[in-house]
Each structure stands twice: as C-alpha cells, then as structure tokens.
Structure 1
Amino acid sequence: MPSEISRLVDELVAQMKSGSATSYQAAVKQLADTARGEGPSGLTATVEALAPWLPGLSGVYAKTAVLAGACVEWGASPMALVDALPLRAAQAMMLNAMVPELWEKAARGRPLPEPASANTQQLVKVLTRRSRWRRGMDKIDLTRIAMSWSDMDDWLNASITVMANAQFRTAVPEDVKAELRDHAAVVGVRSQRAAWVGALAAVLDDEPLVVIDPRARRGYALTMSGIGDNCQLHILLADRLVGDPAQGMVAGERPDRTWVEAATTGDPRLGPAAPAIRSFRLFDGQGTYVAPEGSPADIEPLNGTRVLVLHPPKGTYAMGAGRVFEHMAPALDLDRIMEPAETEGWLARLSPAVEDHLMTD
C-alpha cells in the first residue's frame, strides 16, 4: 500500500474513533482526493485498507462505504469488498425494516421522521424510552437500528456500484445474495435503492438459455450474463436471433441500432418519442407468459434449464429504456443453432402458451 494512502487511512480510522464528525468528513475528503490522484493501484489499495473496517461501522461513518464505492467507480478493483459490503448492506436493510414497527410502539402516534431529516439521537431516545416491548434488545441494538434509518442508503449506494461488476457478483456467495433479495423485498417498497440492490442480487451470470421458435421449429442455445430486466433481454434476443431464415435465424425485422446501443453500452434512455418495440412475445417452457417488466431470474427453468418460446407480437409494446443498470455490462452469446433432433426434443417438452395475461394481447 502506498505510504501516503496508509497514513491517511490510519488518520480516517483515528477520527472515527475520536467521534468527531467534522474531522472525519475532512479525513474522508483528503483520502478521496489522494487516492484518486494515485490511479488504479492507489484506489485499490484504499479499498483494501477500508474493507476490514466496514462491518462495524454505522451512522455517519457509513460514508466510509460510500468512499470505497467511489474508489471503485474511479477504477479500483471491488474484490476486497466481497466479504464485507454485501453482508453489511443486508444487515442495514434488515435493521431498517424494524424501525417503523418499533417507532409505532414507542412514539405513541408521532409521525416517523423521513430518513433524510431524521435525528439519530432523537430516534434512539424515543426507541429506548420504554422497555416493555424491547424483546431483549439493549441500547446498543436500538442505536444500530435507529442509525439504519439514515445510513441504509450509504450501504446501498456502495452496493449498487460494486454489484454492477460481473466478477464481484460471481464471488458473492449465493446465500448472501439470497439475504440481499429477501431484505430488499421488505424495504424495497419504500426504497428504490433497496429494490435495485435486490434486482442486482438476482442477476444471472453465465446462465444457459434455450430459445425455441415453434413456428419454424428451430432452437437456439445461448448464454446470458449481466442482463438487468426482460426489456433489455427482449432487445438483445432480437439482435442475436433475428436474421435470414435461410441461415437458420428467426424471421422478422432487425432491431434498430439505437435500441441495441441503449441495451449495451450507449445511453440507456430511449424515451417516449423513440422507444424500442418488442419483436416477439415470450413464454417459458411451462407456457407462462414472461413479462418485459420482470427479470431473467423470473424465467422458471424446465428440466433445470431456462427456456423461452418465441411468439409473434400482438400490437405494439414500447420500451423506453434499453437497460436498467447503466454501468452493468450485459452479454448474450449465441452459442449454436440446435440440430433438428435436439430442437424437436425441446418442442416435445413444452407446454402450450397460456394466453391469459393482459399483455399477451
């Protein structure tokens, strides 16, 4: 680790231990400025030095996670954060979910402050005023719960940054991803950042995908990674599969290049004036409609493999964005066009499409 980075990290830790928020904020800025000037090696060294401290931080000191995330945005490797950040983000959401219920029991009808304006000390004072409902929690527990009302977004902001990285996502254990999804499902109804973290924890990487065109009796084996939602999947599928039927491709009109750019590396926003139009309706192997608003993880596997069945579009379904996570690089590779016998084997396993969903019209 560069000596100046090491010194500044030590200074940051010292200010956290001193309890001086003002001095801590000054130390954060100095470390950020210095690390950015050091380039990728200095930024990575900063992340590596900060990672061990993250599990025990809360309140204003959660900004340390934001600093680590910023270093990743500036070019640091995120990998040192794999063991600490996802678990701490899951814990922050879990604690945050407890605040409304505890506040209701303790505050006697007073409105719960908005997270942006909440005073942690006042929250702690209210939550600890009466003891009969604490369920064995002491003041330290309640303080961490109260702090989560304000600091959860700091953990989530950093998590959104690192979870966009495919190597990082792959390294996060599946049980930790499940925790992130579970807790995000609870607080995501009132926190868009939590919903995003939950969605990122559900992203599939190196996932086999079988696509069947029943009209032409053709099948395609693909591999997908880093696709945030099914709108993006629609665009990428059309780009990979629509082409000359004489060459084994799916008949239809090729997607506009602006749609493909929005789904990959360009500006993701298409807007209402020039939206992407889906090329087909999708059903899974059990015949269930696959909604564009969902995600690839929602596609129910058939015999262990996710299968999509292409049906002609009915009407026009417009998509105003090419991808939901701007900094997550997607991949959808056409591995091969299936031999007829393999395609027929899949066709024999498919259930008829159940067209009882409003958007299947």
Structure 2
Amino acid sequence: MIFGRKERERFLEAVAGFETAVRERDGQRSQHAMQEIQQHHGDAADGEFVQAGPRLAALLADVPPGPRALVAVLTGACVERGADASVCAPYIFDGLAEALAAAGEFCERWAATGGGELPDPDGDALDEAMVARVGEDAAVAWCTLPQWEMASVAMLSHGAVRTQLGERRAQLLAALRPVQEASDHDFKCLFHALLVLDDEPLVVLHRPTGTGYAMRMSGLGDNFQLHTLLAGVLVGGGHVPGDAPSAQEVAVCRDAPGQVPTTGAFNLVTPGGEWVWNEGTPSDVPVVDGVRLLVLDPPPYQRGWPAGRFFPRMTGDLVLERVLDETETRRWLEHCAPAK
C-alpha cells in the first residue's frame, strides 16, 4: 500500500501530541498519543523517523518507568530508520542505567524473600504478587529490561555511540553482571554490545609459519566474526597457507546482509595456551604489553558455522596494518607458552 503525505504526517502529529501530554503530565492523553504513535509509525517515511527519534529520547526522563521502556524501544526503531544515534543514546543509557540498578535490587529482594526461580523478564509478567514481594519500581525494571536491551543495542550498533560511551561502558557492564549472575536470562545481546571494541590494535601470531601481523579491529560482535575475517585477511591475502573463505563469507562479516556457511581455519589461542572460544568476544583476547595478543594454531578438528554478524546492523572491520619482521615476531612469541 502506498501512503500519501497526509497519512505519513500523522506519525509526527502523534509524536507532537505525546510531547505535549508528557510535559503537561496528562497520563490519559499520553497513553492515547502513544497508541497513535504505534498505530502510525508503520506509515512514516525515513524523514519522519529522523525527526521523531531525538524528540522521543528527550522525553524519556519525564515518562513513568513502565511506558518509558516502550518509548525507548520506539526511539531505537527511529535510530534504525535514520535518526541520529549519538543524539538519542545518552537518554537511552540514562534509562538503561536506572533500569539495571532497579533490576539488581529486584534480584536481591527476590533472594531475600524466599528465593526460587526468577520470573522470565517480560513486560507482560508483571503481577500483584511480584510487586508485593519486591516493590513496584524493582518489578517494573525487571520486566522491562529486555526492552531496554533492545533499545540500547540499537544505539550500540553505531560506532560513534560506542566511542562516546567512554567510562560509562564499564559502569553499565558492572551494573549488568550481577543481574546476569542472578538470572537464567543472560542478556547476551546487551553484554556483547557493551564489549565491542573499536579501533583496537591486535597482534596476531601464526605459530605454524612463525609469522606475525599487526592488525586493527572494530565493530566485531563475537569471535566467529573475528575468526572468519582473520582467515580472509591472512589466508585470503596469501600470508599463510590454508583454505580461504569466499568473498561472500568475508563480506557478510563486514557489512553485507545475511549468513553463509564457513569453515574454521585456525584454533584461536591466548599467549598462555587457553582456547579463545568462538562464542566469546574479541575482548577475551588478553592484553600483553598494551596490545591484545592472539595466537593461531592449526585447528584440532574441522569446525563450521554460519558466517555473519552477531549484530546485523553493526559494521565490522579487521585490517592488516603491516607484517611484523622476524625480530618483532620472535619477541612476541617469547610471551607465549608452547603449543599444547
């Protein structure tokens, strides 16, 4: 169906109505305007989303905790349609920090009032018994945390947002970890997104050939992605022997859509000899002398997986800056335990 200009403009009219209702603290009108936003957002053009995103984000602190998470999700949807993530993100992370703190209190109070299996965090799971047990603010935070995760990942898919996070990244991770430890719900998407490295130096040692490489990585959501890109650069570039991934396998790990099957070329190992699991993140690679140091050994068995990106909207990159000379490579290898 093709929507005319008048139908599309109803989305921004609903946003304006929501702004007015929130600022006038009119709960009934706010609820009605939010329903209008949800009804018409599917008709809006990208330009409307560009305008709406920062306006919705700026209202978050004035919206009550329950519907605030929904506004955060809608802000994330606007960012995915072109709104400026750098403008919207600070408001989202303020809300995320508050939700994580209250969710942490939820876990503590749940344990202190008899424990048992934590309820699945779901906005529809809020009930009177839960509120009576842990308090309304804590219960709302717990039940809306998946929505905050969704909105935050939309922001963190942008490199500029990750760069501007600074020390706040560590604070959010510190608030998230006790919630993960207390719950079966690991909030893996949020956790991985907060661990993504950008413009990060990486020294790679290919033990079978005794060669070394200075690289730089950005926007990699997991080590499956890193593994495929390493094979693309090193095997595909003719630096080390092996079966190179196809151009398509490499492309879907950078910025192309979709997934395609691939096969592992290496065993990723720390300098101490521990495996660096593909399921982990590049932040698992230890820092040695100020640089992350990764060793590549022959694969102990054939492993395959769908090549692609853990975060489909996040562009990944791994570049070879230079091949290390023999002296440099030998010096780095001195930090490494013998192959197991």
> TM > 0.5 between the two?
yes
2:59 aligned residue (53, 57, 78): 53
Aligned-residue RMSD, C-alpha: 2.9
Which has the larger displacement, 158-167 or 316-325?
A: 316-325
Report the 3-state secondary structure (helix = DSSP H, G, I; strand = E; otherwise coil) of the residue aligned with 1:263: coil
Number of the residue aligned with 2:166: 173
Shift of 1:23: 0.8
2:244 aligned residue (254, 266, 272): 254
Matched, 1:26 2:64: no
Task: Give distance in 1, aligned partners of 2:212 and 2:118.
Answer: 57
2:299 aligned residue (300, 313, 319): 313
Which deviations, in whole Å up to 9, do the C-alpha atoms of 1:179-230 show, x marking residues without a partner? 22233333344335x2211111110000001111233222111110001111
Q: Is the 8 A contact 1:107 1:126 kept in 2?
A: no
TM-score, L = length of structure 1: 0.79
Shift of 1:77: 1.3
Which deviations, in whole Å up to 9, do the C-alpha atoms of 1:325-357 show, x marking residues without a partner? 11111000111112233223222333323x3xx
Q: How does 1:259-338 map to 2 (within 5 A)?
A: 259-270=249-260, 275-338=261-324
Q: Is the 8 A contact 1:28 1:64 kept in 2?
A: no
Shift of 1:72: 0.6
Q: How does 1:73-84 map to 2 (within 5 A)?
A: 73-84=80-91
Q: Is the 8 A contact 1:268 1:324 kept in 2?
A: no
- Identity over aligned residues, as a percent? 30
1:146 aligned residue (131, 136, 139): 139
Q: Is the 8 A contact 1:181 1:201 kept in 2?
A: yes
Amino acid in the other structure paired with 1:18: D
Q: Is the 8 A contact 2:76 2:154 kept in 1?
A: yes
- Identify unmatched segments of 5+ residues in structure 2: 1-8
Q: How does 1:126-205 map to 2 (within 5 A)?
A: 126-127=133-134, 142-174=135-167, 176-188=168-180, 189-191=183-185, 194-205=187-198
Report the 3-state secondary structure (helix = DSSP H, G, I; strand = E; otherwise coil) of the residue aligned with 1:260: helix
Shift of 1:29: 2.9
- Identify unmatched segments of 5+ residues in structure 1: 128-141, 356-361
Which deviations, in whole Å up to 9, do the C-alpha atoms of 1:264-313 show, x marking residues without a partner? 3344444xxxx421101122233332121211001111111011112111
Which has the larger displacement, 111-120 or 233-242?
A: 111-120
TM-score, L = length of structure 2: 0.84
> Across the two proteins, how many residue pairs are aligned to each other?
326
Q: Is the 8 A contact 1:209 1:306 kept in 2?
A: yes
Number of the residue aligned with 1:102: 109
CA separation of 1:94/1:190 partners in 2, compared to 1, >3 Å: closer, same or farther? farther
Task: Give distance in 2, aligned partners of 1:311 and 1:104.
Answer: 45
CA separation of 1:30/1:111 partners in 2, compared to 1, >3 Å: closer, same or farther? closer
Q: Is the 8 A contact 2:126 2:139 kept in 1?
A: no
Q: Is the 8 A contact 2:208 2:298 kept in 1?
A: no
CA separation of 1:120/1:350 partners in 2, compared to 1, >3 Å: closer, same or farther? same
Amino acid in the other structure paired with 2:71: T
Amino acid in the other structure paired with 2:177: A
Number of the residue aligned with 2:332: 346
Report the 3-state secondary structure (helix = DSSP H, G, I; strand = E; otherwise coil) of the residue aligned with 1:82: helix
